[in-house]
Amino acid sequence: MTKRISTILLTYGAILVVLLTAFAFNTISNEAPDTRQLNLNEDIETKVDSVLSLMHLNEKIGQLVQYSGKWNATGPSSSNGDQHKLDKLKKGEVGSMLNVTSVASIRETQKIVMEHSRLKIPLIFAYDVIHGYKTIFPIPLGETASWDLDVIKQSAAIAAKESAASGLNWTFAPMVDVSRDARWGRVMEGAGEDPYLNSVVGVARIKGFQGDDLSHIYTIAACAKHFAGYGFGEAGRDYNTVNIGDNELHNTILPPFKAAAKAGVATFMNSFNDIDGIPATGHKVLQRDILKGKWGWNGFVVSDWGSIGEMIAHGYAEDKKHAAQIAMNAGSDMDMESYAYEAYLEKLVEENKVDIAQIDEAVKRILRIKFELGLFDDPFKYCNEQREKEEIYTDEHLAIARDVAKKSIVLLKNENDVLPLSKSLKSIAVIGPLADDKDSPLGNWRGKGDYNSAVSLLEGVTSAVGTSTKINYAKGVDLTIPTLEPGKNQFLYPLKFNTTDNSGIAEAVAMAKKSDVVLLAIGENAYQTGEGRSQTNIGFLGLQNELLEAVYKVNKNIVIVLMNGRPMDLSRVSEISPAILECWHLGSESGNAIADVVFGDYNPSGKLPVSFPHHVGQEPLYYNQKNTGRPWSSKHVTYSGYRDAPKSALYPFGFGLSYTSFKYNNLNFDKTEIDKNGSIKVSVAVLNTGDRDGEEVVQLYIRDLVGSLVRPIKELKAFEKIMLKSGETKTVSFTIDAKMLQFYTANKKWEVEPGDFDIFIGGNSKDTLKSRITITE
């Protein structure tokens, strides 16, 4: 039998030589030749079947097991030690490793399997490459603010290229969870509050990671996560219960996952939460009926870390054996760190509680991706020390990271055109706990980004101005009290905030006093957002408010440079500062990118992918709400709103200013009535009325006025980012058809319901031109 496997391996080895020769001269991943056909000719299904036919039950179950490497746990650590993992690897009873990084470690681990196991089925190596591997790009929420799908795809392609050069072949990204609650720490990891934006951004990321061909040495398998509902945890608390019905599930949560499946994402990850009483990991309707059934998707589903075992804590499984039974029957193919499948699947088959056909199916799904990645051709295909040295953190990648970062910045306020600053100002104060922070801009989930390796704001500004400009720097206050030792696992170190030491404020005030303008860098530490970082307070923690007020007393000319991973309460800063730049956690080139915008070398073009509230009490806050039966009245109290705060956002979804200004007019329809099979062309003229060239994101929203289910007051359905020279007008057109107007109706079908629809076009979700169309039967 071993002979048979080696024959298979030899055949695929030959294919590999062809592929490598073809790829040797390619340097950019999205230029990869499409060799998918080549693989398909060989018929992956036949190969998968022939490998499966050689496998014993223990080896099949082994393929469904994923372990974490030793130093890098990204969840509560397991009770099983390294010796156990080693023994299992030798027996060929492990399908995948996560958190094993570097060519040397990956090679060493793969070698164990190749040298000791009976069938030598290669491992697939996974890692959370969320916004860059070593060259760090803006956090996904920030990058989404670029509304630039090419740029987003490009950053994923570079992340894939660097990961693959380091031996990896699978990332746990993109997260396509719609997230509407600023309290939830993982808002930073997705594309914000809108299902359409999450869909198109998710697909761009998948295409970036996977390219046209998974077997290319520059591409890796992607993973759409967390299936499903993880972003809807009650009260913004991580891992919390999700109580949503079919309408929300199908119309809001599932569309990005469906788009990911359609785009051919190799894997899905399920999710920690329960949905209306059923833990997602044990959710048969979601995984078997919808994902693998209705959507016909043929990749594999990995559990989230320990989520099979966690069904016991949920009170859904009696013990681990029961949990394994539920998860396998529900369609969770691979067990990440629960140790449930390896312990109980064999017994469950014996007892007829799990059908062997389901195990075979799960194994086939996993083998298929391993074949597509080319791992059977060469298990060490991604292990190339030279590539690891030469293709990671290159000047070219850093230049692209700067470009992505500057495009992700959102100008929220710019009274009296405070910005851009002139490079020949006499003095600029650079103040704040994040002003010279070289680590926070890397954000959470920063792959292998080196501690303290980002360009700080201070560095960026200093290198942008000439010697005649005096830079007056003061930190003012520390945001946190150091608890995180560089290189240590950040999951084990909850942050502590500095709430007592204000000794640096006096110096900051002195610097502000003697400067023409203040750049005040405040916001959040990298580890304030991300997994497990839910907060009830979305304001400026520590002593940042005190610093702001003290500086404001002596210099009103404050530009707020926000660095953060979630929508924050900006009510006070927007009251007192003439200018606000939303700079997220922008990655390796943060300071340079911010300087590009501050001094006008780049005209900001970002738009918010999430609503920013007046107050945390408004959360969850999102533009695509339903109207309610009592929308609002200022004259009577019995309407839906708050008595102590506005109902709407302080900065709405889709909002962002430019150093120039745009005017929208001539909203034009080629017709205003169609039947369900028809289409309407709508166009709008956008004029750059300012004296600078600039980019604008033209956004189209709809409202279905009457539905068999209540529909949101606005829904983003299309957008286009355009460049306009000063004084230039461009006409932008969109096609409105059934595909755009349909929703998951009371009939439990995706369909268009005849009736009236409002169409809105504008530069954000609030300020739009509007007109009505009618759909007939």
**Catalytic residue set:** 304
* Pairing label, strands 274-275, 470-474: unpaired
Cβ-proximal residues to 280 (8 Å cutoff; 6+ apart), any chain: 226, 227, 228, 229, 230, 270, 271, 272, 273, 274, 286, 307
How far apart, in Å, are the Cα atoms of 539 and each of 431, 536, 574?
Answer: 18, 9, 12
Nearest approach in angstroms of CB 71 to ligand NOJ is 13
Under 8 Å CB-to-CB from 40, ≥6 apart: which residues? none
One residue of 268, 297, 305, 743 binding ligand NOJ per CB under 6 A: 305
Smallest gap, in angstroms, from Cβ of residue 220 to ligand NOJ? Answer: 14
Euclidean distance between CA atoms 147 and 149, whole angstroms = 6
Q: What angle, 0 to 180 degrees and rounded to 10, lies between the N-to-C axes of helices 356-373 and 341-350?
A: 140
Distance of closest approach, residue 129 Cβ to ligand NOJ, in angstroms: 10
In degrees, to the nearest 5, what angle opens at C-alpha 465 toward C-alphas 462 and 469?
Answer: 95
**Member of 213, 377, 531, 704 binding ligand NOJ (CB under 6 A):** 531
Sheet holding 300-302, edge to edge: 223-227, 267-270, 300-302
At 771 the three-state DSSP class reads: strand
Cα 172 to Cα 270: distance, rounded to the nearest angstrom: 11
d(CA 314, CA 279): 8
Site string (259-298) toward ligand NOJ, x via CB under 6 A:
----------------------------------------
Residues 6+ apart with CB under 8 A from 353: 325
- Binding flag, residue 225, ligand NOJ (CB under 6 A): yes
In angstroms, what is the minimal distance from the CB of 78 to ligand NOJ? 13
The least CB distance from residue 336 to ligand NOJ, in Å, is 7
Q: How far is the CB of 214 from ligand NOJ (least distance, A)?
A: 19
Name the residue nearer to ligand NOJ (CB basis): 269 or 431.
269
Residues 317-336 that bind ligand NOJ (CB under 6 A): none
* Torsion angle (degrees, nearest 10) of CA 539, 544, 545, 547: -160
Whether residue 738 has a cis bond before it, omega within 30° of 0: no
Closest CA relative to residue 430, chosen from 516, 520, 560, 558: 520
593/583 Cα distance (integer angstroms): 9
Q: Which is nearer to ligand NOJ, 75 or 654 (CB)?
A: 75
Q: Least distance from C-beta 101 to ligand NOJ, angstroms? A: 12
How far apart are CB 605 and ligand NOJ at their closest, in Å? 30
Q: Which residue of 74, 117, 440, 764 would you call a contact of ligand NOJ, by CB under 6 A?
A: 74
Q: How many residues bind ligand NOJ (CB under 6 A)?
A: 9
Residues 6+ apart with CB under 8 A from 492: none
Q: Which is nearer to ligand NOJ, 335 or 531 (CB)?
A: 531
Please count the other Cβ atoms lying within 10 Å of the Cβ belonging to residue 764.
Answer: 20
3-state helix, strand and coil shares in percent for the chain, rounded to the nearest 5 = 35, 20, 45
Nearer of residues 223 and 547 to ligand NOJ, judged by Cβ: 223
CB of 109 to ligand NOJ, least distance (A): 17
Which of 74, 480 has the CB closer to ligand NOJ? 74
Return the H-helix or E-strand segment holding 666. strand 662-669
By C-beta, is 177 or 619 nearer to ligand NOJ? Answer: 177
| Nearer Cβ to ligand NOJ (61/280) | 280
Out of 75, 279, 567, 613, the only residue in the binding site for ligand NOJ (CB under 6 A) is 75
Complete DSSP assignment for 302-323? EPPTTTTTHHHHHTS-SSHHHH
Q: Which residue is nearest to ligand NOJ (CB)?
A: 74
> For residue 772, what is the enclosing H or E element?
strand 768-776
Residue from the set 248, 304, 372, 695 that interacts with ligand NOJ by CB under 6 A: 304
Strands (E), 123-256: 124-127, 170-171, 223-227
Q: Minimum Å distance from CB 317 to ligand NOJ?
A: 19
Are 156 and 221 contacting, i.e. CB atoms less than 8 angstroms apart?
no
Kindly tell me which of 225 and 250 has the beta carbon lying closer to ligand NOJ: 225
In angstroms, rounded to a whole number, what is the distance separating the alpha carbons of residues 585 and 441? Answer: 4
Give Cβ neighbours of residue 700 (< 8 Å, ≥ 6 apart): 682, 716, 717, 718, 719, 734, 759, 760, 761
Nearest CB to ligand NOJ, comparing residues 15 and 98: 98
Pair 421, 606: CB distance under 8 Å:
no
Rounded to the nearest whole angstrom, what is the least distance from the CB of residue 65 to ligand NOJ in the complex?
A: 15
CB atoms within 10 A of CB 494: 11
Residue placing its CB nearer to ligand NOJ in the complex, 127 or 382: 127
Phi, psi of 207 (to 5 degrees): -65, -35
Cα Dmax for the chain: 83
CB of 225 or CB of 438, closer to ligand NOJ: 225
Could you give the string, one character per residue 96-135, with x where binding to ligand NOJ holds by CB under 6 A and - elsewhere?
--x-----------------------------x-------
Interface with ligand NOJ in residues 12-31 (CB under 6 A): none
CB of 128 to ligand NOJ, least distance (A): 5
Q: Which is nearer to ligand NOJ, 304 or 596 (CB)?
A: 304
State the binding string over 158-197 for ligand NOJ (x if CB under 6 A, else -).
Answer: --------------x-------------------------
Give residues in contact with ligand NOJ (CB under 6 A): 74-75, 98, 128, 172, 225, 304-305, 531
